[in-house]
Amino acid sequence: MTEPLVIGFETSCDETGVGVVRGHTLLADALATSVAEHERFGGVVPEIASRAHLEAMVPTVHRALAEAGVAPSDVDAVAVTAGPGLTGALLVGLAAAKAYALALDKPLYGVNHLAAHVAVDELQHGRLAEPSLALLVSGGHSSLLLVPDLAREVTPLGRTIDDAAGEAFDKVARVLGMPFPGGPPIDRAAREGDPAAIDFPRGLTGPRDAPYDVSFSGLKTAVARWVEARRRAGEPVPVADVAASFQEAVADVLTAKAVRACRDHGVDHLVLGGGVAANSRLRALAEERCAAAGIVLRVPSPRLCTDNGAMVAALGSRLVAAGVAPSAPDLGADSSLPVETVSR
Amino acid sequence: MLVLALDTATPTLVAGVARRSAAGDAEVLAERAVPSGNRHAELLVPTVREVLAAAGLALADVDVVVAGLGPGPFTGLRVGVVTAAALADARGVPAVGVCSLDAVGSGARTVVTDARRREVYWAAYDAEGARVDGPGVVRPEEAGLTGPLVGDPRFAERLGAPVEPAEVTTAGLLHAAAGPLADPSSAGPLVPLYLRRPDAVPPTSFKPVTTA
């Protein structure tokens, strides 16, 4: 029997994503983004993102279906991010997905954005080992998850207590005069820098700190103080060294906590996800430390680490295969959907 | 021609099905007006199912979708607009957008609805029901609108004149769409009538962490 064809909708932030998968096979990953419209504001403006989603929605569906080479009537199930995310943005994708499900007379699955970031790896590396650990780091989230059953059970182990990792990248980039979003320019600048040049603080790594929670607010402030002190003294700012040392502090804390969580829970598979997982130093250090600890590391390609519709379709496909019940007709969006709620 | 009409520009979600004759007469077959507040996204699709069932019809029978484009509070407004666009796209039928205020009341009138932030959306119509001014958004005290006023009666005091209560109706949406419904395939994409820019001001400078 052919595996089900699932279309997935993602609009939780500034990317309008529509993906199509069959089983674990990626057929289409159409994306529109409003990131350029947010740049001059230094962060995502929810109303601008929501307007852009509406404008892009139907054309993005057309691109996805064309790329997949399928007709709307071929679709077996519709999946959509129901949260967490920006309410106004989420509602555009949710309403569109509900309408397509109604018009195509197919089941609808409202899914968790974070679980979808884990599921996307199945499109590249096949079925996930269960249990796995997942480290999800992006502009909106920083979470360490235990995943006994991706279709039904995801347990949060730790999260950021202040800024998301991606926010810290954005703010440090701003301090260094780099564009938004800050991840790519910091990664580029860091290649020329010395990661040991400045000993920036590693938050929440003391013996009494929560073992799996992270904090980036103190790090961000430490970087700003260091740079501002240089500027006040009239000295040049070694941008590459600052970028490399900051990035090292983030990658060090995240990978150390992820490896420790694997050990503590007897789990030997780690999945990375989220936009910050596209960072080259985080990927390299995770590889190094996982290899040393005997942990199998799975990292999707950078394109699939950032928000997209294929990840939502991938989780939808997993839910269909697991026989999970579809969402009720009055499905809504929940901007703070708990990570334990894989689908609703 | 079977028409599905949707509007989420006000706190009352409206969904209806109507049959439109070649001569342009509309007969509403089923209609629901749900005081759904900020739950349009939850309730719109179930309501569409209800009106279709009440009329004994399927979505496959629908020839054209009419959507209220606002003005209205943005988040709820977009739910109706994107739903109409997606339904029409999935069924391969045209979607026609109308100004939601055109679908409130009839004849010579000025329509007012809640724009939040202590403002109203408004539009003025002549005796034939044609819009002659608006849509706009204004503080009621500064509006200087001339009656008869219809729409959201909560603004009567601040407008200094009575407001005859009236809401968007399926018949009103079809009436407003009469022109494009004569040739629905020529309709453009559905673009909401926001009337306001997004609230966002680019920062002129970023505050330093340390103070010198």
Number of domains comprising chain A = 2
- Residue A111 belongs to domain with CATH number: 3.30.420.40
Residue B199's pLDDT is 84
Cβ of B90 within 8 Å of Cβ of A332? The answer is no
The per-residue pLDDT for B99 is: 98
Q: What angle do CA A249, A42, B211 make, to 5 degrees?
A: 70
Residue B134 φ/ψ region, left for φ over 0, alpha for ψ in the -120 to 50 degree band, beta for the rest: left
Instruction: Provide the percentage of residues in chain A whose pLDDT is more than 70.
Output: 100
Choose the closest CB to A103 out of B39, B82, B91. Answer: B91
Q: Tens digit of pLDDT for each residue in B124-146?
A: 999 999 999 999 999 999 988 98
Confidence of residue A237 (pLDDT cuts 50, 70, 90): very high
Task: Please tell me the predicted confidence (pLDDT) of residue A199.
Answer: 97
> Which candidate in B8, B40, B45 is best for mutational testing of the A interface (most A CBs within 10 A)?
B45
3-state secondary structure B76-142: HHHHHHHHHHHHHHHHCCCEEEECHHHHECCCCEEEEEECCCCCEEEEEECCCCCEEEEEEEECHHH
Residue B55 falls within a domain, yes or no?
Answer: yes
Domain count of the fold of chain B: 2
Q: By CA distance, what is A94's nearest residue in B?
A: B41
A48 touches chain B (CB under 8 A): yes
Q: Is A45 on the interface with B (CB under 8 A)?
A: yes
**Residue A316 pLDDT > 90:** yes
Q: Considering the domain boundaries, does residue A332 fall inside one?
A: no
Closest residue in A to B84 (Cα–Cα): A99
Residue B206 falls inside a structural domain = no
Q: Are A137 and A166 in contact (CB under 8 A)?
A: yes
Given a cut of 70, is residue B47 above it in pLDDT? yes
Q: Report yes or no on A85 lying in a domain.
A: yes
Task: Please determine, for residue A1, whether its predicted confidence score (pLDDT) is greater than 60.
Answer: no
**pLDDT digit string, tens, across residues A52-95:** 999 999 999 999 999 999 999 999 999 999 999 999 999 999 99
Q: What's the domain range around A20? A: 5-120+308-322
CB-count exposure of residue A70 (10 Å: 0-12, 13-18, 19+): middle
- The answer to whether the beta carbons of residues A310 and A28 sit under 8 Å apart is yes
Do A65 and A141 share a structural domain?
no
> Do residue B145 and residue B183 come from a single domain?
no
pLDDT at B211 > cutoff 70: no
Asked if A47's CB is within 8 angstroms of B199's CB, the reply is yes
Domain assignment present for A210: yes
Distance CA A141, CA A160 (A): 8
Same domain, A104 and A203: no
> The CATH number of the domain where B189 resides is what?
3.30.420.40
- Looking at residue A42, what is its pLDDT? 82
Asked whether residue A335 is assigned to any structural domain, the reply reads no
Q: Do B90 and A100 touch (CB under 8 A)?
A: yes
- Judging contacts by C-beta atoms under 8 Å, the chain A residues touching residue B42 are 330-332
* Residue B203: predicted pLDDT: 74
**Any known ligand binding at A23?**
no
Q: Is residue A339 part of a domain?
A: no
pLDDT digits (tens, 9 = 90+) for A128-165: 999 999 999 998 889 999 999 999 999 999 999 999 99
Q: Which domain holds residue B52?
A: 1-100+167-196
- DSSP label of A236: P
Instruction: For residues A76 and A191, state if they share a domain.
Output: no
Q: Is B53 in the same domain as B125?
A: no
Name the residue among A62, A92, A329 with its Cβ closest to that of B49: A329
Both A286 and A149 in one domain: the answer is yes
Per-residue pLDDT tens over the stretch B79-92: 999 999 999 999 99
CATH of the domain at B131: 3.30.420
Looking at the predicted structure, is the pLDDT value of residue A338 above 60?
A: yes
Dist CA A50 CA B71 (whole Å): 16
What Å distances lie between residue A180 and A129, A167, A190, A226, A301, CA to CA?
Answer: 36, 10, 16, 21, 21
- Looking at the structure, do residues A140 and A160 belong to the same domain, yes or no? yes
Task: Note whether A312 and A299 are same-domain residues.
Answer: no
Residues B48 and B136 in one domain: no
Between CA B210 and CA A221 the distance in angstroms is 9
- Specify whether A215 is located in the same domain as A266: yes
Please tell me the predicted confidence (pLDDT) of residue A140: 86
| A329 within domain boundaries | no
Buried b / exposed e over A275-301, threshold 16 CB at 10 Å, is bbbbbebbbebbeebbeeeebebbbbe
Task: Say yes or no to pLDDT of A249 above 90.
Answer: yes
Render pLDDT for A98-109 as a digit per residue (tens, 0 to 9): 999 999 999 999
- Residue A210, chain B, CB below 8 Å: the answer is no
Give pLDDT, residue A93. Answer: 98
Q: Which two tokens stand for residue B131?
A: 């819009």
Do A135 and A253 fall into the same domain? yes
Does residue A61 fall inside a structural domain? yes
Choose the closest CB to A228 out of B84, B86, B209: B209
Residue B15 lies in a domain: yes
Q: What value does the mean pLDDT take over residues A118-128?
A: 97
Q: Does A276 reside within a domain?
A: yes
Residue B187 pLDDT:
86
In chain B, whose CA is at the least distance from the CA of A93?
B82
Is B55 in the same domain as B23? yes
**Residue B157: inside a domain:** yes
Q: Is A117 annotated as a binding residue?
A: yes
